[in-house]
Amino acid sequence: MKMKFQFHILAGLLAVGMLSGCSKNPVTGKKEIIFMSKEKEIALGAESHPSIVATMGIYDDKNLQAFINEKGKAMANISHRPDLPYQFFIVDSPVVNAFAVPGGYVYFTRGIMAHFNNEAEFAGVLGHEIGHITARHSARQQTSQIFGQVGLLAGMVLSETVRGLADQTQQALGLLLLSYSREHETESDKIGVEYSSKIGYDAHQMADFFGTLKKISEKSGQTIPTFQSTHPDPGDRQNKVEKLATQYQTEHPAKYNVNRDVYMRKIDGIIYGTDPKQGFVENGVFYHPELKFQLPVPSGWQYENSPAQFQMAAKDGKSMMLFTLAPGKSLDEAAQTVIKNYSLQVSENNKTTINGNPAIAMISTQVAQSQTGQQAAATANSIQVATWLIQYGGNIYAIHGVAQAANFGGNVGQFKSVAQGFKSVNDPNIINRQPERIRIKSVQRDGSLKDALKDNNQPDSKLDELAIINGMALSDKVTKGMLIKTLGK
C-alpha cells in the first residue's frame, strides 16, 4: 500500500452534532463553543472503527497488542480525560502512521511500530495521539468547519469520479481527512511530551523519532514547504520537542526510561512492508496468493491495496478501477445487489465467460437524484461504470471501471482489457511468497552500522533504508552486543 505519511486521520463522515454549548477545554482550560458533545465523540469513534478495520485490518500480534494496551491505559489514566473508553489497536498496514478518532480510539500501523527503536519513541507518539483526543481537536476543528477532502484512502488523490461510488463503498472505505492545524499539532506535541514523561519515559526520544520521520519523508520525495502544509515540518518539530523535553525534565527531575533492547525484542519478527498474502503488484500484475488470482495493472497507473479492495487510477485522474468481492450467492443476485447499492441505471447486461469463469458484463450510469427525489438527467459529467462480475474459486468478484460520461468511451477499452486479464495463478513462487520481517540481531564487532549490516548479509540496495529503520546513519558507531534491525524472511 502506498500511502503518503499523515499522522492523523478520521474515518467516517463527521456530521455536526448537537450544540453542547460553551464548555471548558480539559487541556487548555479555556472556554469554547463546541458542536460535538462527549457522547457524540464516543459514538463517532464506535461508528468509525468498523470502517478502519475493514480498510486496514488488525495486525495479529498478541504480545505487541498487550504492550500498547498496557501503555495506553497507563497514559489514559494520567490524561486530562481519563473517563473516556480508550481503545488501542495495531492495524495491518505498512505505512508509517498513527492516528486517533474522537472518543478514545487510537491506532498504530505495524509500519510505525517497526520504525520505533525504543519504548520512549512509542510513548511520545502515543501521548501525541491521546493529546488530540483530550484536547478535543476534532471537535474544535469541526466547529471551525475546516475539513479535509473525501478520498477512498488517505494520501491517494483520485478524481471526482470516485464520488460516483455509492454508500456501501463510502461507508466501508471512504475516509474524511481532517487535517489538524499547525497549532493543534504543536499543542499535541507538547501534550505528548507531558504524557509520556508522566508515565516515566524520556521525551527526548520522541524528538529523535521526528528525525526518523523527516528521513522517511525525504526518501519518499514527499517533503513539502512548511507554509503549504498543515503539519509542521518534522525537522522543526524535532527541534521544538527537544526543547520541550529539556524544559519538562528540568522542572521535574527524575529518572526517565528509554527501554531500547526490550522494545527491539518485542518487534522481532514483525512484518515489514507489503504482506504478499494480502496481494502485491509485480511486473504490472496484481497477484493475490491466498485467493489464487491475478489481474493486470495498466502501465503508469497508481494503485492502492487494502484487505477490502484493490483500487487503481490513471495519473490524469480521469478514470479509476475498483476490484472487490461482490455480495450475493449467484451472479444474478450479485448483479442486482450491485445495481441497487450503487444506484446504477444499466444500459447493457450480458452473460459471458472470462478465461473459463462464468461472468456478467454491464455498462451503467450512476443515477443522480434531484432535490425532489426524481432521477436527474444524464449529462457529460454523469458517472458511467463498466462492471464485470466473475465467479471464481467459490467467490464472486466485482471489477468496476469508473469515469465521467465525457471520458468513458476513451477508457472503456482499457477497463475491458483489465477485466479480461483476470485469471487463476498457480505459480508456487507467487502462491508461497513470504513477507519480509524485522529480524533483531546482535552486533558481532565494534564498527559502523554499515559494517554490522554487511556482517548480517544485508544487501547494498537495502542499506539506506535499514539505516532509517534503525534510526541511525550508516556511519554511526555500534558496539559488540548492541541490538540492531535487519530484514529477513
Q: What is the pLDDT of residue 307?
A: 78
Task: Answer yes or no: is pLDDT of 102 > 60.
Answer: yes
Q: Which tens digits make up the pLDDT trace of 420-463?
A: 999 999 999 999 999 999 999 999 999 999 999 999 999 999 99
Task: Answer yes or no: is pLDDT of 266 > 90.
Answer: yes
Q: What is the pLDDT of residue 7?
A: 31
Ranges assigned E (strand) in 225-284: 271-272, 280-282
Q: What is the pLDDT of residue 162?
A: 34
Closest CA to 162 of 151, 153, 175: 151
- Rounded to whole angstroms, how far apart are CA atoms 155 and 220? 13
Burial of 72 (0-12, 13-18, 19+ CB in 10 A): buried
Task: Answer yes or no: is pLDDT of 17 > 50.
Answer: no
- Rounded to whole angstroms, how far apart are CA atoms 224 and 45? 30
Per-residue buried b or exposed e for 442-480, using 16+ beta carbons within 10 Å of the residue's own CB = ebeeeeebbbbbeebebeeeeeebbbbbbbbebeeebee
Q: What is the pLDDT of residue 227?
A: 33
- Rounded to whole angstroms, how far apart are CA atoms 357 and 340? 24
Coil, strand or helix at 270: coil
- Beta carbons of 301 and 313 less than 8 angstroms apart: yes
pLDDT: is 30 or 113 the higher one? 113
Cell of 397: 468478484
Task: Answer yes or no: is pLDDT of 116 > 60.
Answer: yes
Coil, strand or helix at 344: strand
Q: What is the pLDDT of residue 373?
A: 47
Cβ contacts of 345-352, under 8 Å, gap ≥ 24: 345/375, 345/378
- Rounded to whole angstroms, how far apart are CA atoms 48 and 143? 19
How many alpha carbons lie under 13 Å from residue 146 in its C-beta half-sphere? 12
- Beta carbons of 98 and 125 less than 8 angstroms apart: yes
Q: What is the pLDDT of residue 460?
A: 97
How would you classify the pairing of strands 280-282 and 285-288? antiparallel
Q: For the residues 70-84, what does the mean pLDDT come to?
A: 96
Stretch (H or E) spanning 55: helix 38-56
- Rounded to whole angstroms, how far apart are CA atoms 56 and 62? 17
| Complete DSSP assignment for 186-206 | HHHHHHHHHHHHHTTB-THHH
CA distances from 415 to 5, 162, 218, 481, 486 (A): 30, 15, 35, 55, 41
Per-residue confidence band for 166, with pLDDT thresholds at 50, 70 and 90: very low
| Complete DSSP assignment for 274-330 | --GGG-EEETTEEEETTTTEEEE--TT-EEEE-SSEEEEE-TTSSEEEEEEE--SSS
- Rounded to whole angstroms, how far apart are CA atoms 49 and 43? 10
- Rounded to whole angstroms, how far apart are CA atoms 479 and 277? 37
Integer Rg of the chain from CA: 24
Task: Answer yes or no: is pLDDT of 9 > 50.
Answer: no
Coil, strand or helix at 239: helix
Closest CA to 114 of 464, 481, 469: 469
- Rounded to whole angstroms, how far apart are CA atoms 308 and 306? 5
Place of cell 465467460: 353
280-431 CATH pick, 2.30.22.10, 3.30.1540.20, 3.40.1000.10, 2.70.98.60: 3.40.1000.10
- Rounded to whole angstroms, how far apart are CA atoms 368 and 378? 8
Q: Percent of the chain scored above 70 by pLDDT? A: 78
Task: Answer yes or no: is pLDDT of 178 > 60.
Answer: no
Average pLDDT of the residues of the chain:
82
- Rounded to whole angstroms, how far apart are CA atoms 173 and 151? 9
Q: Which tens digits make up the pLDDT trace of 202-258?
A: 999 999 999 998 898 887 654 433 333 445 677 788 999 999 999 999 999 999 999
Stretch (H or E) spanning 487: strand 483-488
Q: What is the pLDDT of residue 43?
A: 85
Per-residue confidence band for 186, with pLDDT thresholds at 50, 70 and 90: confident
CA distances from 236 to 233, 239, 396, 472 (A): 5, 5, 50, 19
Q: What is the pLDDT of residue 346?
A: 95
| Complete DSSP assignment for 113-142 | HHH--SHHHHHHHHHHHHHHHHTTHHHHHH
Q: What is the domain partition of the chain in residue ranges?
A: 10-146+181-266, 280-431, 435-488
Q: At what angle do helices 119-134 and 204-220 cross, to 10 degrees?
A: 90
Q: Which amino acid makes up residue 281? A: V
- Beta carbons of 192 and 125 less than 8 angstroms apart: yes
